[in-house]
Amino acid sequence: MQSEEQQDCSAATCEGKKCRLKFNGIQSEIECVHFSKPSAKKKLVATGATLTTIILLVSMGVIFVMYRSDKKEKENQLKM
């Protein structure tokens, strides 16, 4: 069980930082940590990676549909 001291995570205790639960194997504690906002560069990299993945998946889908329709067209021509 945690003491009142450890459970206190007020603005005065953390001085503008955020609180998080720290588990050390035997008991858990509440500690104050500084979480920085992601930089503009990290946001751009994440956005670029997401957009690239979406474009790649859509392109692969279009290529597959084109391949399948071309294959069916050739099969239909052979049946004639």
pLDDT attached to residue 31: 78
Residues of the chain with pLDDT under 50: 1-6
- 10-26 pLDDT, tens digit each: 555 666 677 777 777 77
Other beta carbons within 10 Å of 29: 14
Q: Are 38 and 53 contacting, i.e. CB atoms less than 8 angstroms apart?
A: no
